[in-house]
């Protein structure tokens, strides 16, 4: 895709897709939220080729979703930690997961629980202003300029 055009677009979705528009990046972010930080952890979890993983980690780091940190001087070893922008991507992953659970839900699926009160998490997107679920009320789109 032509990233130049898309990221300069007035659409916030298109802008996000500069890096989030491929499956590996989203799966890496998923694993990062699950606590993975190291190259080999990601590689083994995803079964991704190391060339791909190197590139994707570099992009996610450049784009500010991950941060490279040296965790050992001898030998020199790096790990990848979520930044604030990376952590704030979690709602996106949960909504993708919610859709998958509803429409691709056959067989056993991973489940997520609120660690404090033990209830299963049911992620929904709402408009914070009206409290209504996204998609239940008519939307008006306003272009800039």
Partner DNA sequence: GTGACTAACTTTCAAATTGATAGTGTTGTT
Partner DNA sequence: AACAACACTATCAATTTGAAAGTTAGTCAC
Binding residues for DNA (CB under 7 A): 1-2, 22, 24, 38-41, 47-52, 54-55, 57, 74-79
The HSE-up count of residue 47 (CA atoms within 13 Å, CB side) is: 0
Q: Applying CB under 8 A, which part among 5-13, 36-44, 54-62, 67-75 lies near a copy of itself?
A: 5-13
What is each CA distance from 8 to 1, 17, 18, 117, 123, in whole angstroms? 13, 11, 10, 43, 30
Q: Which of a copy of itself, DNA, none sits in contact with 59, Cβ below 5 to 8 A by type?
A: none
Distance of CA 76 to the CA centre of its chain: 28
Instruction: Report helix angle 39-46 to 23-33, nearest 10.
Output: 120
Q: Which does 77 bind (CB under 5 to 8 A by kind): DNA, a copy of itself, none?
A: DNA
Using CB distances below 5 to 8 A depending on partner kind, what does residue 4 bind out of a copy of itself, DNA, none? none
The only residue of 7, 37, 41, 59 in contact with a copy of itself, by rule CB under 8 A: 7
Cβ neighbours of 70 (radius 10 Å): 9
Sketch the per residue contact string, 76 through 95, with a copy of itself: x for CB under 8 A, - otherwise: ---------x-xxxxxxxxx
| Position 138 contacts a copy of itself (CB under 8 A) | yes
Tell me how far apart the alpha carbons of residues 72 and 32 are, in angstroms, rounded to a whole number.
19
Residues 39-78 that bind a copy of itself (CB under 8 A): 47, 64
């Amino acid at each position: 895709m032509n990233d130049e055009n898309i990221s300069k677009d007035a659409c916030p979705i298109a802008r996000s897709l500069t890096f989030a528009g491929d499956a590996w990046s989203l799966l890496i972010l998923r694993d990062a939220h699950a606590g993975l930080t190291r190259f080999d952890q990601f590689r083994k979890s995803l079964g991704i080729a190391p060339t791909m993983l190197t590139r994707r980690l570099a992009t996610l780091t450049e784009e500010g979703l991950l941060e490279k940190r040296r965790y050992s001087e001898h030998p020199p070893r790096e790990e990848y930690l979520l930044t604030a922008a990376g952590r704030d991507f979690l709602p996106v992953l949960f909504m993708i997961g919610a859709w998958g659970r509803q429409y691709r839900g056959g067989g056993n699926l991973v489940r997520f629980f609120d660690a404090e009160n033990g209830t299963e998490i049911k992620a929904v997107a709402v408009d914070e202003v009206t409290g209504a679920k996204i998609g239940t009320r008519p939307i008006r789109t306003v272009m800039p300029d």
